[in-house]
Amino acid sequence: MADANNQFQVLFPGNTTGAHTCTGGVGALGFSLRTSGQLYINQNNTATITAYGAVGGWIEGTWSGSVLRSNGASTGTVATITNGTFRFKRLNDV
Contact 35, 58 (CB under 8 A): no
CA dihedral (64, 24, 71, 32) in degrees, to 10, reads: -50
Per-residue pLDDT, 1? 41
Looking at per-residue confidence, does 14 or 18 come out higher? 18
| pLDDT averaged over every residue in the chain | 86
The alpha carbon of 5 is separated from its chain's Cα centroid by a whole number of angstroms, namely 16
Per-residue pLDDT, 30? 82
Per-residue pLDDT, 19? 92
Q: Which residue type is seen at 25?
A: G
pTM of the model: 0.77
Q: Running DSSP on this structure, what letter comes out for residue 94? A: -
